[in-house]
């Protein structure tokens, strides 16, 4: 089966030769690997695995306590969702909304879309295209990693002021960020079209 594919590195379009196991197609200009033999194409599987892992970890990450703060006898323990609810309760709709959007909704959308694209091969091509575009857009704004960075900065800044512990959600959070990154790295948009084509 022959098809064309742009090198993901330098953008040069190649026609793809038939490959047998153990062979890869490489770019003639930059020598990057363009494509693998059909039975070694696990991009969709890998994406599905990583996205599923991220999806499973997403829930403990947002619902379990992520921070435990103790200050002058006040003990405070809050989860991500709890923090957002608190922000809303205090009237900080803007900040709360931003955190909710970029740390919960967009990451979740991205993970779910990746799962959908890689796992469910039943979808119509048009639907797939829409999903893919949404995923691309939402993925840009998925900022779980940024939130993690914010927590780390807070730890460094407040460490001497208050007693400060990470809750169990932090492990889930870090793993979730890593898994969703792995999922988007593994995702190979070419494959979704190939599968439909066949």
User: Judged by CB under 8 A, does residue 117 bind other proteins?
Assistant: no
Out of 123, 155, 175, 195, which residue is the one contacting other proteins (CB under 8 A)?
A: 175
The C-alpha atoms of residue 90 and residue 98 are separated, in whole angstroms, by 15
Distance (Å, rounded) from C-alpha 94 to C-alpha 144? 18
Closer by beta carbon to other proteins, 66 or else 99: 66
Does residue 171 touch other proteins according to CB under 8 A?
A: yes
Site string for other proteins, 68-97 (x = CB under 8 A): ----xxxxxx--------------------
In the sheet that holds 74-79, the strands lie side by side as 74-79, 65-71, 163-166
Query: Minimum CB separation from other proteins for residue 9, in Å?
Result: 12
* Nearer to other proteins among residue 68 and residue 123 (C-beta): 68
What crossing angle do the helices spanning 189-197 and 43-63 adopt, rounded to 10°?
120
Q: Which residues, 6 or more positions from 80, have their beta carbon under 8 angstroms from its beta carbon? A: 61, 62, 63, 66, 99, 103, 104, 147, 169, 173
Residues 38-67 that bind other proteins (CB under 8 A): 40, 42, 45-46, 49-50, 52-54, 56-57, 59-60, 64-65
Nearest approach, Cβ of residue 86 and other proteins (Å): 10
Judged by CB under 8 A, does residue 22 bind other proteins? yes
Give the other-Cβ count within 10 Å of 106's Cβ. 19
Cβ density class 11-39: b for 16+ within 10 Å, e for less: eeebeeeebeeeeebebeeeeeebbbeee
- Position 181 contacts other proteins (CB under 8 A): no
In the complex, the residues that contact other proteins under the rule CB under 8 A are 2-5, 12-17, 19, 22-28, 31, 33-37, 40, 42, 45-46, 49-50, 52-54, 56-57, 59-60, 64-65, 72-77, 168-169, 171-172, 175, 179, 182, 186, 197
């Amino acid at each position: 089966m022959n098809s064309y594919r742009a090198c993901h590195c330098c953008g040069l379009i190649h026609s793809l030769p038939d490959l047998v196991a153990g062979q890869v197609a490489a770019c003639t200009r930059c020598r990057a690997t363009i494509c693998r033999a059909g039975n070694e194409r696990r991009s969709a599987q890998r994406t599905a695995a990583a996205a599923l892992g991220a999806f499973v970890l997403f829930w403990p990450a947002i619902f379990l306590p992520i921070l435990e703060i103790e200050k002058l006898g006040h003990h405070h323990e809050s989860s991500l969702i709890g923090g957002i609810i608190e922000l809303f309760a205090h009237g900080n709709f803007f900040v709360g909304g931003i955190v909710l959007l970029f740390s919960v909704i967009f990451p979740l959308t991205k993970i779910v879309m990746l799962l959908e694209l890689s796992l469910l091969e039943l979808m119509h091509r048009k639907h797939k295209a829409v999903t893919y575009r949404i995923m691309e857009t939402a993925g840009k704004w998925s900022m779980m990693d940024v939130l993690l960075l914010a927590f780390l900065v807070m730890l460094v800044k407040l460490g001497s002021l208050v007693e400060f512990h990470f809750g169990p959600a932090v492990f889930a959070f870090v793993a979730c960020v890593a898994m969703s990154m792995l999922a988007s790295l593994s995702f190979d948009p070419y494959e979704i079209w190939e599968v439909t084509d066949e």
